[in-house]
Amino acid sequence: MTKLSLFLGCIVPNRYPGIENVTKLCLEKLDLDAVDLPGASCCPAPGVFKSFDKGTWLSLAARNVVISEKMERDVLTICNGCYASLADANIELKSDPEMKAQTNMCLKGIGMEYQGTVEVRHIIELLYEEIGPEKLKSYVTTPLDLKVALHYGCHLIKPTKERKLGNSENPTFFDELVEATGAESVDYTDKMMCCGAGGGVRSGHIEESLEMLEHKLACIQRAGVDCIVNACPFCHLQFDKGQLAVNEKFGTDYSIPVLHYSQLLALALGISPDKLGIEQNAVQNLEFLAKVYEINAGIR
């Protein structure tokens, strides 16, 4: 099995530490060899930094990859944005010698050199490719009686030429991983639409960003689900914190719980709900919390 270094990024450790906590617990339960990636910085976020300066984006991403190269481990990301930056930069540096030379000129000043010896993985792609939904089911001790609105997030699958995870219009691999937990992945209108946060839109044009989010939330609400599941902390933040902002802006009363896939999987692996950090979310849905504790206690 691949040796991995866990790249935390910014939003997980600095806003949603519950995701960090249970990701580590899940990796342990699944016997995946993953250790911390000490000294890692921002990936840097593709929507903003790749929009500002290519050289900076490549250099900072390369530095994070180099730390993992020294450890002789592939980088494991738990965020679509981190995946987009680190995987795309890695592909670009491996395939473009000129870019690699330029980036190494910058890295030289801090005594580093990019070699191109490791891969960058995303936890969803890794679980699907290396364990698979069928085998994942054998680890499930607590099948989840939950209806889920799954949000893939754009950068997990697009651009498809780089991702190689198949069609981006109607993918199923992530749904299969959700259903391996016993949960039902419910179809809903505009399921593949963006959450509205990326590309610097959430930071630069918040009103427009919330317009897009409100549409997604309306579609999800109509589908009648217990929670939203994602694999990207930035989408997670948009759905969770953004939900309160949408309620304020549009006078709505959405209260849809938001979980990262690691948190859903943790529940299915029998990890206690108090390790998840969902009680620290902006959206507080007591009915859902009660349900989750009942499932964990085996009384549902």
Binding site for other proteins (CB under 8 A): 8, 10-11, 13-15, 17-18, 20-21, 36-42, 44-56, 59-60, 63, 106-107, 109-110, 154-155, 158-160, 168-169, 193-194, 196-201, 203-205, 208-209, 211-212, 215, 275, 277, 280
Supply the minimum distance, in Å, between the C-beta of residue 71 and other proteins.
Answer: 13
Supply the minimum distance, in Å, between the C-beta of residue 138 and other proteins.
Answer: 28
Neighbouring C-beta atoms of residue 279, cutoff 10 Å? 12
Angle (CA) 68-70-75 rounded to 5° is: 15
Supply the minimum distance, in Å, between the C-beta of residue 182 and other proteins.
Answer: 25
How far is it, in rounded angstroms, from Cα 229 to Cα 68?
A: 29
For other proteins, the closer of residues 74 and 179 by Cβ is 74
For other proteins, the closer of residues 44 and 133 by Cβ is 44
Residues 6+ apart with CB under 8 A from 47: 81, 198, 199, 200, 201
| Amino acid, res. 300 | R
Provide the sign of the torsion angle of the four alpha carbons 10, 16, 17, 23, taken in this order.
Answer: negative
For other proteins, the closer of residues 93 and 131 by Cβ is 93
- Cβ atoms 123, 231 nearer than 8 A: yes
For other proteins, the closer of residues 136 and 258 by Cβ is 258
For other proteins, the closer of residues 82 and 146 by Cβ is 82
Strands 34-36 and 4-7: parallel
Provide the sign of the torsion angle of the four alpha carbons 8, 3, 165, 116, taken in this order.
Answer: positive
Supply the minimum distance, in Å, between the C-beta of residue 246 and other proteins.
Answer: 12
Residues 6+ apart with CB under 8 A from 132: none
What are 27's two structure tokens? 């990796």
How far is it, in rounded angstroms, from Cα 165 to Cα 162?
A: 9
Supply the minimum distance, in Å, between the C-beta of residue 168 and other proteins.
Answer: 5
Supply the minimum distance, in Å, between the C-beta of residue 147 and other proteins.
Answer: 24
For other proteins, the closer of residues 32 and 45 by Cβ is 45
